[in-house]
Amino acid sequence: MRRTMYCGSVREEHIEQKVVLEGWVNRRRDLGGLIFLDLRDREGIVQVVVDPGSPCYRQADRLRSEWVIRVEGLVRARPLEQVNPKIATGQVEVEAQQLEVLSEAKTLPFQIDAGWRGEEDPKVAEEVRLRHRVVDLRRKRLHENLRLRHKLITAIYRFLDGEGFVSVETPFLTRSTPEGARDFLVPSRLEPGSFYALPQSPQLFKQMLMVAGYDRYFQIARCFRDEDLRADRQPDFTQLDLEMSFVTQEDVLALNERLAAYVMKETLGVDVPLPFPRLTYAEAMNRYGSDKPELRFDLELVDVTEAFRGGEFRAFAEVETVKALVVPASLSRKEIEGLEALAKSKGAAGLAWAKREHGAWSGGIARFIPESLGQRLEVGEGETVLFVAGVWRPSVEGLGAVRLELGRRLGLIGPGYAFAWVVDFPLLEWDQENARWTYMHHPFTSPNLDDLEHLETDPARVRALAYDLVFNGSEAGGGSIRIHRRDLQERMFALLGISAEEAQEKFGFLLEALSYGAPPHGGIAWGLDRWVANMTEEDSIREVIAFPKNKEGKETLTGAPSPVDPAQLAVLGLALKE
């Protein structure tokens, strides 16, 4: 007989029953005669008791942490005063009758037992954890994270299936397209000198599916971008990718809100109010200094450009934008210096400050501040006001970064989950480096048709039918209504400086598809890793990916990337440069 149930599933209802359990020794307590074992599997731990008179006593005496064993025994109630309320199986214990060692184990490089009895696991350097990922993955926290991830994905399938979406797989080995992120390339053996690229997203394939009439598509899609890593970025990551035909932006937002509310309820039991707040890009930037504002605290930026316009303070008098942030705390010089460095890292010119003390401005730029500003900003006694001035975007982004840091530092960020849509992104932005217009989202995003007349004459003014889903201050998704007319797509390519020949060469298949009768369509992609990280309140997506890459893009378990045998290169027609 193999096991009869999970260790973590034994309950009072099983008392008097004979059970067979298999699992890992989470911990062994040897009282010198009486031995207790906490036996663990993915569902939890249960206490096994081995009496000195038991035939398996000698075996139990040998056992060590993390050995894998099989126990046959009788479930019995614990004496009332010995119930352990900290574990789900705490009402009962298993009296061992037979015990078999299935596998011995070396001493673990770090301890993982605490989490399973409801405590915090001791902190271990991430480097060590990743090097021993198999051990790390045994921790309760990672079990919970990965199982939540699974619940999220199954909820997504249930919901979208119910809404008539069809799951379709798209190729991993595809064609390199220009622009966007750097591609991962895969050399072709059958056609030496040519390369596949791994998809940065299934974008064009899903548009093809719309043209082909599938109407509603989704995919839990692996995507690949060869860029540097961050806490929320991996070179291979997972998107929920979806696309819908015959829809407006409104339809896409409404469906995705319902999907988000559904998965939050199904996975965390959390009720998310609908509809989500909506901010235009301009509003988000002006009020929060970010296009992915953290909305779990206020502390909004205030525009004070006009208060300084033409005044005696030269640095503020003639700039595009002056923004203020009223900080409900008295910041030290040193703190302000640190925040200034942060603002500058986002391109702000600097960070000016003043304090309100004894009903008057003091310190920093106090003497340049119009008295009336104090009232308008509603500055309290002892509070600090921070200012940025200069070009609009770097200024608001600089102060936005300061806002977020202060939110963290002052403990302003509330618990819970805050969703929002950011809409009305600019279609294009000026690329300083290459002196040309470039797309903000991607080149297949539809302009807002109300702004179409300005497309060539005043590109900066054209809004896109693009939207981002913001979840606790992270960009959890982004999408757009796509261009579905060939002529408009060609106009767009031209505007981006892509010649007709190049457009034909690189995107001919798209243009071709659009000319066979394409429905209006649009969709979105969710960054699934970030979603799970937000839901589990992890700071890094590496905590919700079973086998993540480290900061250098290495997969430390297998040691990828690794050199390959020269013969493998030869088959591909490749040679390494010295």
Q: For the segment 157-196, give every residue that binds RNA (CB under 7 A).
A: 179-182
Tokens of 227: 């860029």
Q: For the segment 231-260, give every residue that binds RNA (CB under 7 A).
A: 231-233
220 binds RNA (CB under 7 A): no
78/133 with CB nearer RNA: 78
CB of 293 to RNA, least distance (A): 15
65 binds RNA (CB under 7 A): yes
80 binds RNA (CB under 7 A): no
Amino acid at 246: F
Find the binder of RNA among 97, 305, 438, 448 (CB under 7 A): 438
Query: Of 155-163, 199-207, 370-378, 381-389, which segment contacts RNA by CB under 7 A?
Result: 199-207
Find the Cα–Cα–Cα–Cα dihedral 538, 541, 544, 550, rounded to 10°.
-120
562 binds RNA (CB under 7 A): no
405 binds RNA (CB under 7 A): no
DSSP reduced 3-state for 104: coil
CB of 355 to RNA, least distance (A): 27
433 binds RNA (CB under 7 A): yes
267/480 with CB nearer RNA: 480
DSSP reduced 3-state for 126: helix
CB of 376 to RNA, least distance (A): 31
CA dist., res. 303 & res. 389, Å (int): 10
52 binds RNA (CB under 7 A): yes
229 binds RNA (CB under 7 A): yes
53 binds RNA (CB under 7 A): yes
442 binds RNA (CB under 7 A): yes
Q: For the segment 524-543, give every residue that binds RNA (CB under 7 A).
A: 540
Whole-angstrom CA distances from 168 to 101, 110, 177, 187 are 46, 42, 21, 26
**Is residue 475 exposed (0-12), middle (13-18) or buried (19+ Cβ within 10 Å)?**
middle
128 binds RNA (CB under 7 A): yes
554 binds RNA (CB under 7 A): yes
* Distance between start and end Cα atoms, the chain: 61
Residue-by-residue DSSP string for 200-241:
S-SHHHHHHHHHTT--EEEEEEEEE--S--BTTB-SEEEEEE
CB of 453 to RNA, least distance (A): 23
CA dist., res. 411 & res. 65, Å (int): 40
Query: Of 46-54, 143-151, 482-490, 560-568, which segment contacts RNA by CB under 7 A?
Result: 46-54
CA dist., res. 49 & res. 60, Å (int): 10
Evaluate whether 110 touches 135 at the Cβ level (below 8 Å). Answer: yes
Query: Of 314-322, 352-360, 453-461, 550-558, which segment contacts RNA by CB under 7 A?
Result: 550-558
For tokens 């139990």, name the residue. Answer: 60
